[in-house]
Amino acid sequence: MAKKLSDLDLSNKRVLVRVDFNVPLDAALKVTSDARIRESLPTIRAILKAGGKPVLMAHLGRPKGKVVESMRLLPAANRLQQLLGTPVRTCGDCVGPAAESASRALQQGECLVLENLRFHDAEEAGDAAFAAQLAKNGDVYVNDAFGAAHRAHASVSGVPALLPSAMGLLMQKELDAFHRVLHAPARPFVAILGGAKVSDKLPVIQNLLPKVDTLIVGGAMAYTFLAQQGIRVGKSLVEKDLLGEAGKVLAACKAQGKLLLLPVDHVCAAAFKADSPASVHTGDIPDDLMGLDIGPESVKRCVAAIAVAKTVVWNGPMGVFEMDAFAKGTEAVAQAVASSGAFTVVGGGDSVAAAEKTGVVTKLSHVSTGGGASLELLEGQVLPGVAALG
């Protein structure tokens, strides 16, 4: 089991912390959403309180091993300083004499933000020599970047092999939430899966099905299941190569006595456009239309199932929620999850965005900061960044 932050002696130590500062910037290079920076604050403050000196490393964007001026971490460092109210230093690189010197010059109460890790190809390659260079910037290591924990990168899985290591408070919070739903869920346990493709969520379905009581499937991925049942789905997205797998899931639900809720009616349009006229169809979808959201009867069934749940996991929208005409299903599910009284975990960028759009984030038990990492946990995988912590 990975050590916790409180297990490390941090006093007067340089604490090399992998954080997730992959934040959006506008044209003026100002941070437009500081949510990820805010999520790192409890760990950083705990380190400062314990007398440690936080040396923060992160990536931003996809510079592909080259220095890209618009992807420097200075805007994130500036925002961190505003939020912390204590000095935050920066450095022009994340490795080498300048970085090591800056880390050793750090004073009590100060933080240092190293430059973008991905300015070096060696970071994403998981290069051991690069990890050794990074390790020179700290005396102990803390991983608080759940959003990067599914990547076997040098800063994620290489450095903890070289320094005394622990998980940060955000990482601990994420792992605790997913452990609770995957290994000790209060029942009824309802899983809500949506999104475009069955292929993206099939491993999640296979891992969750034995654990849940009810599985709700929405979004375009539902049409592969409906097509497998012989229902006409018009121009809706169907992954024909996965019809067989969909059939296996349907059979498994029946054999295991699981309640599977697929859409029974649909909000349809002739084109994937925000201004395309929408109409509701029950059962078969006309050949010239495509389903872009679940219909009102499907919404009622989903809401009823969620209302009695004691544990809810939600990953993926019910329709094209970015377009107002096709957002009602996702919004209704978001409201139902928020008001259910269950222990609720929401993961995946689209689901989080939908929760934010609907204004229910504060009513949810846990909103994950890592889309890819949360998906891999739901698939039953061990994250490289967690495994490396021991």
Alpha helices, H only, the chain: 35-49, 74-84, 97-104, 121-124, 128-135, 169-183, 198-208, 222-228, 243-256, 296-307, 328-338, 349-358, 371-378, 384-387
Comparing C-alpha atoms, which of 261, 269, 260, 268 is closest to residue 299?
261
Domain annotation covers residue 390: no
Report the predicted TM-score, pTM, of the whole model to 2 decimal places.
0.92
| pLDDT tens readout for residues 345-378 | 999 888 888 899 899 999 999 999 988 999 999 9
Domain annotation covers residue 174: no
Where is the domain boundary, 169, 195, 225?
169
Domain annotation covers residue 175: no
Comparing C-alpha atoms, which of 198, 309, 215 is closest to residue 254?
215
| pLDDT tens readout for residues 262-298 | 999 999 999 999 999 999 999 999 999 999 999 999 9
Above pLDDT 90, what percent of the chain?
A: 94
- Average confidence (pLDDT) over 59-85: 97
Residue with tokens 């059962």: 283
Same domain, 149 and 216: no
Where is the domain boundary, 145, 169, 193?
169
pLDDT of residue 350: 86
- Average confidence (pLDDT) over 81-102: 97
Domain annotation covers residue 330: yes
Same domain, 190 and 318: yes
Q: Is 385 a catalytic residue?
A: no
Which of 18, 36, 79, 201 does the annotation list as catalytic?
A: 36
Where is the domain boundary, 118, 136, 169?
169
pLDDT of residue 178: 96
What spatial distance separates the first Cα and last Cα of the chain, rounded to whole Å? 6
pLDDT of residue 390: 80
pLDDT of residue 266: 97
pLDDT of residue 298: 98
pLDDT band, very low/low/confident/very high, at 304 (cuts 50, 70, 90) = very high
Same domain, 29 and 107: yes
Domain annotation covers residue 127: yes
Q: Are strands 259-261 and 366-367 parallel, antiparallel or unpaired?
A: unpaired
Is 2's pLDDT higher than 90? no
pLDDT of residue 371: 86
Same domain, 203 and 247: yes
How far apart, in whole angstroms, are the C-alpha atoms of residue 59 and residue 35? 15
Same domain, 272 and 354: yes
Same domain, 33 and 143: yes
Q: Is 390 a catalytic residue?
A: no
Same domain, 162 and 293: no
How far apart, in whole angstroms, are the C-alpha atoms of residue 146 and residue 150? 8
How far apart, in whole angstroms, are the C-alpha atoms of residue 357 and residue 371? 17
Task: Output phi, psi for 92, to 5 deg.
Answer: -75, -5
Q: Which domain holds residue 68?
A: 5-169
Same domain, 240 and 97: no
- Average confidence (pLDDT) over 80-100: 97
Same domain, 223 and 306: yes
CATH code assigned at 302: 3.40.50.1260
Alpha helices, H only, 21-168: 35-49, 74-84, 97-104, 121-124, 128-135
Is 187's pLDDT higher than 80? yes
- Average confidence (pLDDT) over 237-250: 95
Domain annotation covers residue 385: no
Domain annotation covers residue 60: yes
pLDDT of residue 256: 96
Above pLDDT 70, what percent of the chain?
A: 100
Same domain, 321 and 200: yes
Same domain, 137 and 247: no
Domain count, the chain: 2
How far apart, in whole angstroms, are the C-alpha atoms of residue 169 and residue 13? 18
pLDDT of residue 348: 83
Which of 197, 301, 357, 363 does the annotation list as catalytic?
A: 197
pLDDT of residue 44: 98
Same domain, 311 and 258: yes
Is 1's pLDDT higher than 80? no
Q: Is 372 a catalytic residue?
A: yes
Domain annotation covers residue 389: no
| pLDDT tens readout for residues 6-17 | 999 999 999 999
Q: Is 36 a catalytic residue?
A: yes
pLDDT of residue 27: 93
How far apart, in whole angstroms, are the C-alpha atoms of residue 47 and residue 102? 18
pLDDT band, very low/low/confident/very high, at 343 (cuts 50, 70, 90) = very high
CB 84 within 8 A of CB 99: no
- Average confidence (pLDDT) over 311-335: 95
CB 17 within 8 A of CB 74: no
Is 49's pLDDT higher than 80? yes
- Average confidence (pLDDT) over 211-221: 96
Which of 51, 92, 349, 371 does the annotation list as catalytic?
A: 349
